[in-house]
Amino acid sequence: MCVGLGAVSTTFITGVLMTRKGLAKPVGSMTQYDKIRVGRGKDKKYLHYGEIVPLASLDDMVFGAWDVYPANAYESAVEAEVLKAKDIEPVRDELLAIRPMKAAFDRKYASRLDGDNVKDCATRREMVEALREDIRRFKKENDCDRIVVIWAASTEIYVPVDETVHGSLAAFEKALDANDTDRIAPSMCYAYAALLEGAPFIMGAPNTTVDIPAMWELAEKTKMPIAGKDFKTGQTLVKSGFAPIIGTRCLGLNGWFSTNILGNRDGLVLDEPANFHTKEVSKLSTLESILTPEEQPDLYADYYHKVRINYYPPRGDNKEGWDNIDIFGWMGYPMQIKINFLCRDSILAAPLVLDLVLLTDLAARKGRFGTQRFLSFFLKSPMHNYEEGEIPVNHLFKQYVMLKNAIREMGGYEADEEID
């Protein structure tokens, strides 16, 4: 069940439907393509994830969604202009049948959206109960054994963590009943409802949603996995993979300037400063845990890191990211690196959605609950226990070790790689 039936969700759903018909390939999906070594020495072998652990089949997936706009999945896919008609029309009937339920929405959290397919809820508690009923009804009508809820909607305005509301489940529920609309965002209502209904929840935007102690407590109580936050698709994927090159080579960094142009609905929402700030916090967090001044003060003591996103309608979903990296080498001599990534936002996000859904569902069946740190490979700003001073792992290749070890463990093999 997708929160949001825009470019990302419709690209994901259409791709799965086309793959099931043998008309497309799920390129970019780790669960469908990647192989992991299990065993050592003469017992060593490389297997696909599905050969190691019991992943759900693509044939067993049923799709539902909420959205502020009433357009069905076919209309939304056409409107998004991500996929060509030849990749949509073969599954037209299936897409037409996916009609979004009314969204739990508060316009002050995404003021650039003006859809009217919205629940008539007077309070946050009413929002929660309406969403719980949606999940129960969808599960029954589609004869589903299990539900996974994933947020693929717009970025909300930044909600700072407030210990008096977010610090415990009791405090959160008290604020929920008091209808605290300033500190309980609609996305929190989705997460709360999903967990109470026994559905894992994945946060695909940088919203302050499950990244709070109250939700950690609820996930522990309901024995459900949670994951987040913010799909790691384009520029941050490059950053989390390229920064380790600088660090491993012991080169210095003076500054890293990142800017993007994007013209889809996400770009429109992020054109609002309050919403962009939420994204900025997420994107800025990547570098600081990879190139750390504490470990190498000569190299990373005082670098400047800036991130910008600019709404540019002509590009639609075709995002362009520019990175200017000012480094220095032997005896402090300066050098520069330029990266220009012309990517397709939803084409990169769709396989992440598939992987996150399948792996979170797997984690739930394997009895893993609470924050799923092994899924940080797919996320810009990995959840971590900041109350205990935990530092998130943003280094792409260390994240990959965490992912492989979790797959091994859930498949009954030894988790045999270490993170230095």
pLDDT in tens, 53-76: 999 999 999 999 999 999 999 999
**Do 11 and 77 form a contact (C-beta atoms < 8 A)?**
yes
Res. 78: pLDDT tops 70: yes
Q: Could you tell me the pLDDT band of residue 269, with boundaries at 50, 70 and 90?
A: confident
pLDDT value of position 267: 76
pLDDT at residue 190 tops 90:
yes
Which residue is it, tokens 């599954």? 91
Q: Which two tokens stand for residue 75?
A: 């209309």
The one-letter amino acid code at 20 reads: R
The neighbouring-strand residues paired with 35 are 48
Coil vs helix vs strand at 234: coil
223 vs 112, higher pLDDT: 223
pLDDT of residue 7: 95
Where does CATH 3.40.50.720 sit in the chain?
Answer: 2-231+347-410
Residues near 330 by Cβ (< 8 Å), separated by ≥ 6?
Answer: none
Fold of 2-231+347-410: Rossmann fold (3.40.50)
pLDDT for residue 282 = 63
Confidence class for position 268, pLDDT limits 50, 70, 90:
confident
Q: Is the pLDDT of residue 284 over 70?
A: no
Q: Structure pTM?
A: 0.94
What confidence tens digit (pLDDT) does each residue in 303-318 have? 999 999 889 999 888 9
For the ranges 111-115, 136-140, 407-411, the lowest mean pLDDT is seen at: 111-115
pLDDT value at residue 417 = 95
Determine the pLDDT at residue 240: 94
Write the class of the CATH domain 235-344: alpha beta
- Pairing between β-strand 149-151 and β-strand 201-203 as defined by DSSP bridges: parallel
Q: What is the CA radius of gyration of the chain?
A: 21
User: What tens digit of pLDDT does each residue of 215-250 get?
Assistant: 999 999 999 999 999 999 988 999 999 999 999 999
Task: With H, G, I as helix, E, B as strand and everything else as coil, classify residue 255.
Answer: strand
Percent of the chain with pLDDT over 70: 99
Under DSSP, the state recorded for 56 is P
Q: Where are the beta strands (DSSP E) in 121-173?
A: 149-151
Please list the residues that pair with 261 across neighbouring strands. Answer: 310, 320
Backbone torsions φ then ψ of 255, nearest 5 degrees: -170, 155
Within the chain, all domains assigned CATH 3.30.360.10 are found at 235-344
The whole-angstrom distance between residue 340's C-alpha and the CA centroid of its chain comes to 23
The CA-atom distances, in angstroms, between 388 and each of 52, 170, 190, 382, 392 are 33, 20, 26, 15, 12
In this structure, are strands 225-228 and 370-371 parallel, antiparallel, or unpaired?
A: parallel
For 170, counting Cβ atoms within 10 Å of its Cβ (0-12 exposed, 13-18 middle, 19+ buried), the class is exposed
Measured distance CA(255)–CA(91) in Å, rounded = 47
Alpha carbon 82 to its chain centroid, in Å, reads 19
Mean pLDDT of 141-158: 96
According to DSSP, the residues that pair with 260 across neighbouring strands are 309, 321
Residue 281 confidence (pLDDT) above 80: no
pLDDT confidence band for 394 (50 / 70 / 90)? very high
- Containing 304, the helix (H) or strand (E) segment is strand 304-311
Q: What is the mean pLDDT of the chain?
A: 95
When pLDDT is cut at 50, 70 and 90, the band that residue 283 belongs to is low
- Residue 194: per-residue pLDDT: 98
3-class SS at 185?
coil
Q: What is the pLDDT of residue 274?
A: 72
Phi and psi at residue 379, to the nearest 5°: -130, 145
Q: Given pLDDT bands bounded at 50, 70 and 90, which one contains residue 286?
A: confident
> What span, in angstroms and rounded, lies between the C-alpha atoms of 228 and 149?
12
